[in-house]
Amino acid sequence: MKGKEWYQADDVAEEYDDKRFSEGGAFIDRREKAAVRSALGPLEDKTVLEVACGTGRFTVMMAQAGADIVGLDISAAMLAQGREKAKRAGVDDHVEFMRGDAARLPFPDDHFDAVFAMRFFHLADRPVTFLRELRRVTKGQIFFDTFNLGSTRVIYNWLLPMGSRLYSRTDVESLLADSELELESEAHDFVLPYGFYRQLPRSVARPFRTLDTAIGKTPLGDKLASVSYWSVQK
């Protein structure tokens, strides 16, 4: 995995949400959460695993919606942030945060109703291995996102501290075939890359997001999108 040392630093965990999901980044946070909720559907009494849960942005949201959820991450500092977030939200009794390796998930086969991983596959040095593990522990549903080859993300990709793997549609189709998974649905968004939004005040980012969304609805939208959301089944 790229940039493990950077990702696990205490100061990175403490600043992670503020640097990425405040101001213009709030549009990213809102869209990602909507994608997860839409894909996984009703969550009451569902058992869910989130791989690479980070600071628990999605983990806590899912618990608030009624899921019994496990959040797994390699960073102890990120998990500490997640536990505090769950406690503040009053859902710590529905959430378990675990430190672990996504390539060797500590769960039996078919253990969860659904499994998802956000902002993970762009860091995966062995994506097929990880996806096969997700397949093993779910009863059926998997949801994940990718950053796209040929999108505007290539402009600044090399500057990122953890690097980033970019995927073509052919790459994703091959990944699913090698993991014996079937594509159920997909969505594509953000012609302007995430990094652009994070640099702007919310009031300035809003008209750009409106324009971005309008372009996304045109025939060119899917081709230009920098992010794709994939819902798949065993």
pLDDT at 10: 58
Q: How far apart are CA 82 and CA 13, in angstroms?
A: 10
Residue type for position 135: R
pLDDT at 156: 67
- Higher-pLDDT residue of 15 and 105 is 105
53-75 pLDDT per residue, tens: 999 999 999 999 999 999 999 99
What is the longest distance spanned by two Cα atoms in the chain? 47
pLDDT at 4 over 70: no
Tally of domains in the chain: 1
pTM: 0.91
In degrees and rounded to multiples of 5, residue 216 shows phi and psi of -60, -25
SS (H, E, C) the chain: CCCHHHHCCHHHHHHHHHHHHCCCHHHHHHHHHHHHHHHHCCCCCCEEEEECCCCCHHHHHHHHCCCEEEEEECCHHHHHHHHHHHHHHCCHHHEEEEECCCCCCCCCCCCEEEEEECCCCCCCCCHHHHHHHHHHHEEEEEEEEEEECCCHHHHCHHHCCCCCCEECHHHHHHHHHHCCCEEEEEEEECCCCHHHHHCCCHHHHHHHHHHHHHHHCCCCHHHHCCEEEEEEEC
pLDDT at 233: 97
For residue 204, give every residue at least 6 positions away whose Cβ sits within 8 Å of its Cβ, in sequence order, or none: 24
Which range marks the domain in which residue 165 is found?
A: 4-233
CB atoms within 10 A of CB 87: 13
Instruction: Report the share of the chain in percent with pLDDT over 70.
Output: 91
Query: Which CATH number is 108's domain given?
Result: 3.40.50.150
Is the Cβ–Cβ distance between 210 and 197 less than 8 Å? no
Q: How far apart are CA 135 and CA 59, in angstroms?
A: 19
pLDDT at 24 over 50: yes
Confidence of residue 114 (pLDDT cuts 50, 70, 90): very high
Confidence of residue 1 (pLDDT cuts 50, 70, 90): very low
pLDDT at 151 over 90: no
Q: By C-alpha distance, which of 176, 137, 160 is closest to 19? A: 160
182-206 pLDDT per residue, tens: 999 999 999 998 889 988 999 999 9
pLDDT at 153: 74
- For tokens 């959460």, what's the residue? 33
Q: How far apart are CA 65 and CA 24, in angstroms?
A: 25
Region of 213 (left: φ > 0; alpha: ψ -120 to 50; beta: rest) is: alpha
pLDDT at 117: 97
Confidence of residue 2 (pLDDT cuts 50, 70, 90): very low
**CA 136: distance to chain centroid?**
19
- Higher-pLDDT residue of 41 and 153 is 41
pLDDT at 11 over 80: no
pLDDT at 152: 77
- What mean pLDDT do residues 202-220 have? 96
